[in-house]
Structure 1
Amino acid sequence: MKFEEIKKVFAQNISDLYEESESRFMFQLFAEHILGWNTIQQRQFSDEEISEEHERKFRYIISELKTGKPSQQILGETEFYGMKIFVDENVLIPRPETEELLEIALQKIQSSGLKIQDMKILDIGTGSGIISLVLKKHFPEAVVYTVDFSEKALKTARKNAEFHQTDIHFIHADYLKYDLNQTFDVIISNPPYIGMDEKTEIADSVKDFEPAMALFSPTSDALIFYRKIAEDAKNYLKKNGFIFLEINQKLGNETLALYEKDFTEAKLIKDLSGNDRFIVVKK
């Protein structure tokens, strides 16, 4: 089969799932992944025959996409903050909002006057490790600790850390039952914050393929992680230290209220879509 023919087969089979422009972009990604051809080469070699093995790979990808499986999981990787990140069914696929969280954190830390050398950072609920990776890349002299309840997620996070040659301290623990034993300059988290009553609002492609543990609050209290972070920070966040949180947009004021009393500053910040999405706290 010629390359141009498999391209048409791909488009025809997923036309009811994706917009034309998205379908075209996805095919380019998969073609580069399978054949090693960039977009220019894909145009140059459109009349080239592809092997039966390559055709089978394309058809397998089509069958996986038709189940609703995210393209990032099929590829086994995605890009986040300009970095190649390995992903699988055990970790969340990185969202643009988390890039916004990191932009806020980087700017605040850089302008804070905090001593960067030996600065201690705690990332709660690391998943694929993206938050820890970006912070370690920008602050290589910092000591970064990250905690997650999922051993499988930590395996993926370690893979990412090794790929990017970053030294991160991984802790396998249920944070809600975990007692901190040292102080930190920065606490950052994108914890499970979707309430159980919101499950029907979540797209099937997310619910069916991404880990529920990383999406939904483990109890009827959607703020349970934020309550523990607030309590821990009273004793284990250093003076002038920061907390950076990604939050449930429906619970902005309720989440903010957990931090307004015991800390010097607590601000609710909107994301680029205008939703209450982040909280920044200074002690």
Structure 2
Amino acid sequence: MVIAEIKSNFHRDLNGLYTASEVETLFVIFVEEVLKINRVQLRNWNEPLNDAVILKFQNALSALKTGKPYQQIIGKAQFFGEVFKVNEHTLIPRPETEELLEMAIREIKKLKNKNIQILDIGTGSGVIPIILKKYFPSAEITSMDICPEAIAIAKENAQTHQSEIHFIREDYLHTTLSKKYDIIISNPPYIGKDENDEIEDTVKKFEPNIALFSPTEDPLIFYRKIAMDAENHLINGGMILLEINQKLGQETLALYHHFSSAQLIKDLSGNDRILFITK
């Protein structure tokens, strides 16, 4: 079997599940992963494939046909120009979270003091604290998650990226903070239970529901606790940056009306996505 046959199989088996351009992208991703060659080298690749390589492509194709995200199949995801390990216990990082990080970096750069304390709530694979640590190496970052398996992946990613971060396995909703922070940042579970039918079945099947859905009937429960905690555990002049449910922008904003300022910011798709608060 040659690579052209593998490509043909991808388009045949994934037709209807993905667009032709998406299938082409997936094919190239797995070529790079399995054969360790890039898109340019692929054009001139005509070597026969051995059985072990063919099996890897067949296994990948079988997994893709179930709707499993390619990032989970290869065990890694691109985010903010870096590569991070992911698995079924960690949410696959989204472009909207890159927008949250871009804003955080921009605002933190304005601070005179870079020896800051940052609290990251719901760390998942650890992408937020690791990127922040790259930009602000003198910052002390504490990252929290309820899932021990997610914390394990976050620690692996931090080690890979040589980032010193204090990871805590804890349920934030039942946590009492012990110190003050300069920055609180979070992309917490914010999908309401009434929105269950609106979420793609493959997302619900393969990604951790604990990272997607609010644990109670209140989709704003994390935002309420962050607002309360910030009263005593965010320094004056400190900042809160939150990724939010696009359908609950005004409701989330209202929780922070008593702070010095609170801004609702739209993402590149025009949806309410980020809440930026200063105390």
TM-score w.r.t. the length of structure 1 is 0.97
1:189-204 matches, cutoff 5 A = 189-204=186-201
Partner of 1:108: 107
Query: Given the alignment of the two structures, is residue 38 of structure 1 paired with residue 38 of structure 2, yes or no?
Result: yes
1:43 Cα offset (Å) = 1.1
Does residue 124 of structure 1 match 2:121? yes
Matched AA of 1:81: F
Distance 2:142 2:124 in 1: 13
Q: 127, 150, 153: which one pairs with 2:150? A: 153
Q: Which runs of 4+ in 1 moved over 6 A?
A: none
Identity over aligned residues, as a percent? Answer: 53
Q: Can you list the C-alpha shifts for 1:162-186, whole angstroms capped at 9, x where unaligned?
A: 1101000001100000010011000
Pairing 1:1-283 to 2, within 5 Å after superposition? 1-45=1-45, 47-111=46-110, 113-117=111-115, 119-261=116-258, 263-283=259-279
**In structure 1, C-alpha distance between the alignment counterparts of 2:102 and 2:184, rounded to whole Å:** 15
CA distance in 2, matches of 1:164, 1:4: 36
Other structure's SS at 1:187 match: strand
Instruction: Identify unmatched segments of 5+ residues in structure 2.
Output: none
Looking at structure 2, the residues matched to 189 and 212 of structure 1 have their Cα atoms a distance apart, in angstroms, of: 17
Tell me the C-alpha RMSD between the 2 structures: 0.8
Amino acid at match of 2:26: M
The superposition leaves residues 133-172 of structure 1 with CA deviations (integer Å, 9 ceiling, x where unpaired) of: 1111100010010000000000111111011010000011
The Cα shift of 1:39 comes to: 1.0
* Superposition deviation, residue 204 in structure 1: 0.9
Any gaps of 5 or more consecutive residues in structure 1?
none
Amino acid in structure 2 at the alignment position of 1:270:
K
For 1:147, the aligned partner's letter is M
The secondary structure found in structure 1 opposite 2:177 is coil
Rounded to whole Å, the distance in 2 between the matches of 1:198 and 1:35 is 41
- Cα displacement (A) at 1:22: 1.2
Deviation at 1:11, TM superposition (A): 1.6
Measure, in 2, the Cα distance between the counterparts of 1:116 and 1:88: 33
Paired residue type of 2:43: R
How many residues in Structure 1 have an aligned counterpart in Structure 2? 279
- Secondary structure of the corresponding residue to residue 155 of structure 2: helix
Q: CA deviation at 1:15?
A: 1.5
Return the alpha-carbon distance in structure 1 between the equivalents of residues 212 and 222 of structure 2: 12
Hey, what's the Cα distance between the residues in 2 that align with 1:222 and 1:29?
36
Find the aligned partners of 1:164 and 1:201 in 2 and give their Cα distance. Answer: 36
For residue 12 of structure 2, give the secondary structure of its aligned residue in structure 1: helix
What is the SS of the residue equivalent to 1:128? coil
Give the CA deviation at 1:114. Answer: 4.2
Q: Distance in 2 between matches of 1:2 and 1:265?
A: 60
Q: Which amino acid aligns with 1:43?
A: R
Q: Secondary structure at 1:208's aligned position in 2?
A: helix
Q: CA deviation at 1:254?
A: 0.8
Question: TM (normalized to structure 2)?
Answer: 0.99
TM-superposed CA distance for 1:17, in Å, is 1.1
